[in-house]
Amino acid sequence: MNKTVLITGATSGLGYDYVKLFANDGYNLILVARNKEKMQQIKETYSHLNVTVIQKDLSIGGAAKEVYEEIKQQGAHIDVLVNNAGFGLMGEFDKLDLQEQVNMIQLNVTALTELTHYFLPMMKERNSGRILNVASTAAFQPGPLMAVYYATKAYVLSFSEALVEELSGSAVTISTLCPGATKTNFGSVASVEGTKMFSRAMESDLVAKEGYAGLMSGKRVIITGSVNKLGALTAKFLPRSIVAKVAKYVAGEK
């Protein structure tokens, strides 16, 4: 019997790259996103697999529970959970729309936490399963001009690493993907495509492949790209005030 993966934010960027990677390995797919038309196209593309389409906006409170309830009613077993959905915003905290920032926290933090809470017990009961939480190299530092986004990704990394220890001795693994700037629609949504941080953005399919390999090997934290690995390491040793200044600099225009 084919295994099943649940992927959030499945219609574009890294989410769509993961759809292709898991489909190529024969996984049945449960897709969660806002774009139903795109998900239907994916379903038609992979008609040889069991593809379930769930149209939800996870930035709305209660949506994650609705996803869980729908899957539960179908009797599906989730072997892999990919918490990929998320977005960022560029600008000074007090000048950005508050509701949009709250929605960001809901999507990047709350929905990810809820979905992990709903599906982790099933994996523990079967003593089998993998979870990939998508964070960012932003998780390693404060991020002026993207203060809330950086904070959400720091949460994802801290939360995920704590669960790794809770699951010590179990066959269930949790991996955190920490890419740097990646060529997806994230850049346009966050209005950061013209910044220094995106001057060396990686291709999304390369990031996804590194993340996939790390997930399947049970790697704890996956930092993609040698430059990003160096940056994450450096951030651990420099004073936080200096790291924040550097982050603010790279958030500036090229």
| Mean pLDDT across 248-254 | 64
218: left (phi over 0), alpha (psi -120 to 50) or beta: left
pLDDT in tens, 121-177: 999 999 999 999 999 999 999 999 999 999 999 999 999 999 999 999 999 999 999
Which CATH number goes with the domain that contains 172? 3.40.50.720
Q: Is the pLDDT of residue 254 over 60?
A: no
pTM here?
A: 0.90
pLDDT in tens, 79-134: 999 999 999 999 999 999 999 999 999 999 999 999 999 999 999 999 999 999 99
Lay out the sheet containing 4-8: strands in order across.
51-55, 28-33, 4-8, 80-83, 129-134, 172-178, 221-223
Q: Is the pLDDT of residue 188 over 70?
A: no
Report the distance separating Cα 24 and Cα 139, nearest Å.
30
Domain that holds residue 121: 4-250
Residues annotated as catalytic (active site), given as ranges: 149
Q: List all residues 6 or more positions away from 157 whose beta carbon is below 8 Å from its beta carbon.
A: 135, 139, 140, 176, 178, 221
The structural domain count of the chain equals 1
Q: Is the pLDDT of residue 197 over 60?
A: no
Bridge partners, 80 (sequence order)? 5, 130
Bridge partners, 52 (sequence order)? 30
| Mean pLDDT across 55-83 | 97
Output the pLDDT for position 227: 76
193 or 215: whose pLDDT is higher? 215
| Mean pLDDT across 14-39 | 97
